Amino acid sequence: MTIKAIAVDMDGTFLNSHQDYDREGFKPLFKTLKEKNIRFIVASGNQYAQLKSFFPEDNKSIVFVAENGGVVVLDGKLSAKKTFSKHLLEEIITFLHEKYGETTVILCGPETAYIQSSAPDYAQEFADRHYYALERVDALKDHINEPIVKVALVLPDEMVDEVKTNIAKVFAEDALTAVTSGFGCIDLIIPRQHKGSSIEALLKDWDVHSDELMAFGDSENDLEMLKLAKYSYAMANGSEKVKKAARFEAPSNDDNGVFKIIKQFLEKE
């Protein structure tokens, strides 16, 4: 068993239910990974600014695949990004606001996310928790000329399936892809631009085969990443769809599942 890269989702996977992780326990683990030249990839639907805040001492040594693959940061520098067209963004915002007035739309740029000041309180609270760099604006359409890598929808849980189904009916498959990412959130991403495709490009650059990749996830937006990795782990708290896609199962995020599997691997080494 040879591992040269490890990719971890954050919410529901690396982070526990309190949105944190065993920071002291991570230090020796990460030190060992670096000594063995094993790349550590944080792959999340969250923005880069928020992700790097979890690793204040090591963020330049970690590879970040943020915004569900829309942004890749390598050695502390933006390595790749893929953005929506102004026309498509305008169509998305118009459709959602006309059909679902209570639906909250967050436009996610490489550095900053934008939410309307008029968004409901539950969505404002969600945005404050998950977006480290966030601006409240009067109108989202004022920002569609900026590079936007992902559109996030914050919804009451009971609306998620309906909204996702209707988006698929209105927008062509080659225009956008809608994936659930937990917490009543739907992420609209550019087709074929996801965690899996971004990680696959990194592996190619590093001359690393997918058979040498270990990956951990719990939600639908982790599927492509898990299918790519030979050593794919669904968290015990993950969805059934994720468990079917992964080859193995890890203990839950509240049971330090990612740490335990990585430690087992290092001990065998």
The residues annotated as belonging to the active site are 9
Q: How confident is the model at residue 102 (pLDDT cuts 50, 70, 90)?
A: low
Amino acid at 113: A
What is the structure's pLDDT at 81? 85
Is residue 24 within 8 A of residue 255, CB to CB? The reply is no
User: What's the pTM value of the predicted model, to 2 decimals?
Assistant: 0.83
What is the structure's pLDDT at 123? 87
Tell me: pLDDT of 192 over 80: yes
> Can you say how many angstroms the Cα of residue 210 is from the centroid of all Cα atoms in its chain?
19
Is residue 219 within 8 A of residue 242, CB to CB? The reply is yes
Q: Which residues contact 240 (CB under 8 A, 6 or more apart)?
A: none
CA distance linking residue 103 with residue 237, whole number of Å: 27
Strand partners, 220: none
CA distance linking residue 123 with residue 141, whole number of Å: 18
Total Cβ atoms within 10 A of residue 215: 30
Residues of CATH 3.30.1240.10 domain(s) within the chain?
86-189
Domain 86-189 CATH class label: alpha beta
What is the structure's pLDDT at 82? 86
Residue 239 gets which letter from DSSP?
A: -
How do residues 135-168 score in pLDDT, each as one tens digit?
999 999 999 999 999 999 988 888 888 999 999 9
Total Cβ atoms within 10 A of residue 102: 12
Is residue 44 within 8 A of residue 130, CB to CB? The reply is no
Tell me: pLDDT of 4 over 80: yes
* Crossing angle for the helix pair 23-35 and 257-268, to the nearest 10 degrees: 30
Mean pLDDT for the stretch of residues 42-68: 92
Q: Which residues contact 160 (CB under 8 A, 6 or more apart)?
A: 180, 184, 186
CA distance linking residue 111 with residue 115, whole number of Å: 14
Is residue 111 within 8 A of residue 130, CB to CB? The reply is no
The more confident residue out of 126 and 55 is 55
CA distance linking residue 3 with residue 81, whole number of Å: 27
Mean pLDDT for the stretch of residues 238-266: 96
CATH of domain 5-81+193-268: 3.40.50.1000
Q: Which residues contact 78 (CB under 8 A, 6 or more apart)?
A: 71, 72, 110
Tell me: pLDDT of 106 over 70: yes
Q: How confident is the model at residue 236 (pLDDT cuts 50, 70, 90)?
A: very high
Residues of CATH 3.40.50.1000 domain(s) within the chain?
5-81+193-268
Mean per-residue pLDDT over the chain, rounded: 92
